[in-house]
C-alpha cells in the first residue's frame, strides 16, 4: 500500500506556464510535507515544505497548497523555466515521532517551448 | 560545507559477492538513512540510524545490514548480493528524524550481474 501517492509520472509544461504536481497521502499521522527536487545524477534536495497547520506555503515561484480534510496537496511551479526540468518527490513524515520521510514515486517535469 | 559523501559512485558486482557501500557526513547529524531508488517506485527506506549503534529497520531491510560505529559514518552491507538489488542507493542525514531538512548524497549506482 503506497502511503504517499503522486498521480503523474511525468508532466510536460509550456515554458512560462504554471506546472501543477499533485500528491495524496493515507496516514493521518503525517503532518510534515516536504517536496524534494532531483536532477539527473544527483541526490534529492529540499525545495519547499509545509506543516499540516498551514494550508499554503510560498517560496518564490514555488507554492504548496495543502488540504488536510482531503489528504492531498499540490506543488505549483509558476513561470516554468528550462532549469525546472527535474523529478519532484512529494514526501511526508510525522512530526511528533520524528519519523523518517515516506516518499512518493516522483513526477518528472519537462518544460518545453511554446 | 554541508555534505553527504558516498563511495563508490558506481559499482558492478557478481551475484553472491559481498557489497559494502560507505557514507560520510560532515554536519554532526545524529540521524542517518539508507534509501534505494528504483524507476517508478521513488525512494524506499532500507535502514535508519538514530546514532552510533542505534539502528532500526526501514520498509525494505531484507537482504541488507548496516553498521554505524562513528556518528559521521554509516555503512550499508549486502551479504551475497542478488540481481534484484541492482539499484541506486542513497545515503542521507538529518539533525532530527524526517522533520528537518534531510541532506542526500549523490548516490551509488550498484549493478549486480
CATH code of B37's domain: 2.60.40.10
Residue B33: its chain A contacts at CB < 8 A? 100
Does the pLDDT of residue A59 top 60, yes or no? yes
Domain count along chain B: 1
Does the pLDDT of residue A114 top 90, yes or no? no
Domain count along chain A: 1
Interface probe, candidates A98, A99, A106, chain B, greatest B C-beta count within 10 A: A98
Cβ within 8 Å of residue A79, ≥6 positions away: A16, A17, A18, A61
What residues make up the domain containing A101? Answer: 4-112
Binary contact (A99, B107; C-beta < 8 A): no
Average pLDDT over residues A31-47: 95
User: What pLDDT score does B59 carry?
Assistant: 93
User: What pLDDT score does B74 carry?
Assistant: 98
Binary contact (B106, A41; C-beta < 8 A): yes
> For residue B89, what is the enclosing H or E element?
strand B87-94
CA distance A21 to A8: 8
Mean pLDDT of chain A: 94
Q: Are B50 and B31 in contact (CB under 8 A)?
A: yes
What residues make up the domain containing B80? Answer: 4-112
Phi, psi of A84 (to 5 degrees): -85, -5
Query: Along chain B (113 residues), what's the average pLDDT of each consecutive run of 10 residues?
Result: 92 97 95 94 94 95 97 97 98 80 95 98
User: What pLDDT score does A19 carry?
Assistant: 97
The DSSP secondary-structure symbol of A93 reads B
CB atoms within 10 A of CB B24: 18
Q: What is the CATH number of the domain that holds A65?
A: 2.60.40.10
- Lowest-confidence region among A11-20, A67-76, A101-110, B88-97: B88-97
User: What pLDDT score does A98 carry?
Assistant: 66
CA distance A34 to B99: 9
Residue A32: its chain B contacts at CB < 8 A? 98-99
Q: Are A51 and A34 in contact (CB under 8 A)?
A: no
Average pLDDT over residues A90-102: 84
Cα–Cα distance list, B89 to B45, B51, B58, B100, B113 (Å): 10, 20, 14, 21, 16
Binary contact (B40, A9; C-beta < 8 A): yes
Return the closest-CA partner of residue A85 out of A52, A39, A48. Answer: A39
Amino acid at each position: 500500500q503506497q502511503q504517499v501517492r503522486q498521480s503523474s509520472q511525468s508532466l510536460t509544461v509550456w515554458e512560462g506556464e504554471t506546472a501543477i504536481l499533485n500528491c495524496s497521502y493515507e496516514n493521518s499521522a503525517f503532518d510534515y510535507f516536504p517536496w524534494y527536487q532531483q536532477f539527473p545524477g544527483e541526490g534529492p534536495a529540499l525545495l519547499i515544505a509545509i506543516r499540516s497547520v498551514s494550508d499554503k506555503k510560498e517560496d518564490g515561484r514555488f507554492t504548496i497548497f495543502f488540504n488536510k480534510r482531503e489528504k492531498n496537496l499540490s506543488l505549483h511551479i509558476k513561470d516554468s523555466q528550462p532549469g525546472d526540468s527535474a523529478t519532484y518527490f512529494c514526501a511526508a513524515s510525522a512530526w511528533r515521532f520524528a519519523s523518517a520521510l515516506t516518499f512518493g514515486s516522483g513526477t518528472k517535469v519537462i518544460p518545453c517551448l511554446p | 560545507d554541508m555534505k553527504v559523501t558516498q563511495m563508490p559512485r558506481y559499482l558492478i558486482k557478481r551475484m553472491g559477492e559481498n557489497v559494502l557501500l560507505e557514507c560520510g557526513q560532515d554536519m554532526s547529524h545524529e540521524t542517518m538513512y539508507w534509501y534505494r531508488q528504483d524507476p517508478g517506485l521513488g525512494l524506499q527506506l532500507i535502514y535508519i540510524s538514530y546514532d552510533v549503534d542505534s539502528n532500526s529497520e526501514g520498509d525494505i531491510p531484507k537482504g541488507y545490514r548496516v553498521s554505524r560505529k562513528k556518528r559521521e559514518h554509516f555503512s550499508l552491507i549486502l551479504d551475497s548480493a542478488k540481481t534484484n538489488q541492482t539499484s541506486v542507493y542513497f545515503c542521507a542525514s538529518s539533525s532530527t528524524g524526517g522533520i528537518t531538512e534531510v541532506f542526500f548524497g549523490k548516490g551509488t549506482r550498484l549493478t549486480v550481474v
